[in-house]
Amino acid sequence: MSIAAPIAVAIGPYHHHHRASPQLMAMEDSKRAAKEEFCRRVAMMASQSQPEVEAAVREKMLSLAGSARKCYAGDWTIDRMSHESLAEMMFLDGCFLLQFMVSMFPDDPNAPPELDPLMSRAEVHTCIDAIARDVMLFENQIPWAVLQALMEMRPGVPVDRFLTLMASAFHVAANDDDDKAASLSSGASATTGAGGEPNDHGDPPPPHLLGLFHRRQVGAAHTQSLRVPWLSSRSTTAVELAEMGVKLTASKTNKFGDMSMEKRRRPWPWQLSLAPMVLNNLTACWLTNMAAYEACLGATQADNFAVSSYVCVLSCLVNREEDVKELRGKGIINSTFSDMGTLVFFKGAAQDLRVGHRYYEVFQALHKYRQERWLWIAVHSFLYRNYKTIVTVLSIAGVLAGLFKTILSLRHHQ
């Protein structure tokens, strides 16, 4: 799976050698401005001088350099970096990430943008989407422990509000206002649990910002396991589901992990629910990187492949442009790509992805539906494929019946 390189800001050591490019070099100045603002804010709260705060933060970053280095796979760029260089990089990149979140949700929304240390810079306020894209790249992360240490010195960073705003990029237009309202009304409580401590569900601290974003997009983990995973060799597309009488519908939670094939009440005895999403260049990039993160996690935790399973299910459902149209019509996919472009994305993204039990559950339930409802499927498929012809025949029959009745009435008068 190809993982895109950053185009606006490089975070962490993997793309350190790319920082000499003009686009990424411009953002290095913004990082230094964010560091200055961080030290100024902490100095004001702690009643210390900025040089004292900067020295204390640098010392803290240096103490984390050894553990931070272990978070990255062996790479010649990282191996050549000293602890001091790595600590300085974490200092700059961490301050930039936190300040970017603060700048997106300033304490005073009415404050002039020119007073903001980041939004006042052209390379930032003209590249918001590109920066948002880059901070969720799998190879563009720094350890959460670094962000946690910085947030302990500078409390009040609106991590949850920021992630809520990022999540709204996946949601269809009908949900955008609700998501933005939730993010703007969350207030001071939005940072609760953002420091990386286990939450009410007992989840451990995330490894990085992408890991936290992935956790909120997937939803609660499914802990049950399948003793004998079974996968049908028969492909079932979105159009075929409609022919079989399976209702394809958008789930209400917008969580990629909440996919299900369930028995429902009549007239739709079975229903396949999938999270609705907006597909564009930004969300396609995030989907790919969340799947890459799952591949890195492997099977170390229960059901780590929720996003990968979601992508693979959609890949199975689309074999033709008509299938994409069916998904659009059911509100599952709202894509800025063409029907063919959407088809190509899911087919390409699903290659070599590992799947979890959610994926198997869907196809096991579909196999069970085929076995139990074979007669209903045959009847419904015939009616679905020929309903236009049936309606036409019934209309003609109605006209003929009316005409015949009129003739009989005239003959009766005579």
pLDDT digits (tens, 9 = 90+) for 210-269: 999 999 999 876 655 555 455 554 567 888 887 877 888 898 888 998 888 887 766 556
pLDDT score, position 380: 56
The helix/strand/coil state of 246 is strand
pLDDT of residue 185: 33
Distances (CA, A) of 197 to 16, 121, 187, 222, 356: 29, 34, 20, 22, 27
Residue 186, pLDDT score? 35
Residues 6+ apart with CB under 8 A from 19: 10, 25, 28
Residue 103: per-residue pLDDT: 95
pLDDT, position 1: 45
Choose the weakest-confidence range: 72-81, 218-227, 296-305, 363-372. Answer: 218-227
Secondary structure of the chain: what % helix, strand, coil (to 5)?
60, 5, 35
Q: Which residue has the tokens 């969300």?
A: 283
- The whole-number pLDDT of residue 254 equals 87
Give CA–CA dist 182/380, Å, rounded.
43
pLDDT at 189: 34
Residue partners of 137: CB distance under 8 A and separation at least 6: 3, 4, 5, 6, 11, 210, 285, 289
Chain position carrying tokens 């269809």? 172
389 phi, psi to nearest 5 deg: -65, -40
User: pLDDT tier at 300 (50, 70, 90 boundaries)?
Assistant: low
pLDDT for res 152: 96
Asked if residue 197 has pLDDT above 50, the reply is: no
pLDDT of residue 277 exceeding 60, the answer is yes
pLDDT at position 288 over 80: yes
Which tops the pLDDT comparison, 26 or 141?
141
Return the higher-pLDDT residue of 84 and 229. 84
Question: What are 335's strand-pairing partners?
Answer: 279
Q: Taking 50 as the threshold, does the pLDDT of residue 312 lie above it?
A: yes
In the chain, what percentage of residues exceed pLDDT 70?
A: 77
Q: Give the DSSP letter of residue 70.
A: T
- Rounded Cα gap, residues 171 and 159, in angstroms: 19
Q: Give all strands (DSSP E) within 184-340, no chain letters.
A: 246-250, 260-263, 270-274, 277-279, 333-335
**Other Cβ atoms closer than 10 A to 54:** 19
The three-class DSSP label of residue 274 is strand
Per the prediction, the chain carries an average pLDDT of 82
The pLDDT value given to residue 65:
92
* Alpha carbons 336 and 180: distance in angstroms, whole number: 21
Which phi and psi angles does 207 have, rounded to 5°?
A: -75, -30
Would the pLDDT of 148 be above 90? yes
pLDDT digits (tens, 9 = 90+) for 107-139: 788 888 888 999 999 999 999 999 999 999 999
Looking at residue 234, what is its pLDDT? 56
**Of 1-5, 239-243, 271-275, which gets the smallest average pLDDT?**
1-5
Please choose, from the candidates 367, 99, 328, 60, the residue with its C-alpha nearest in 3D space to the C-alpha of residue 234: 367
Residue indicated by tokens 């411009």: 26
d(CA 18, CA 20): 5
Which of 414 and 80 is assigned the larger pLDDT?
A: 80
Pairing of strands 333-335, 277-279: parallel
Q: How confident is the model at residue 159 (pLDDT cuts 50, 70, 90)?
A: very high
> 264-271: long-range contacts (C-beta < 8 A, 24 or more apart)?
269/245, 269/373, 269/376, 270/245, 270/246, 270/365, 270/369, 270/373, 271/246, 271/247
Question: Does residue 99 have a pLDDT over 90?
Answer: yes
pLDDT value at residue 126: 92
What pLDDT does residue 231 have?
A: 52
Give the pLDDT confidence of 332-387 residue by residue, as tens digits. 999 999 999 999 999 999 988 988 888 888 888 887 777 776 566 666 566 666 65
Residues ≥6 apart with Cβ < 8 Å to 71: 143, 207
Q: Which residue has the higher pLDDT, 369 or 97?
A: 97
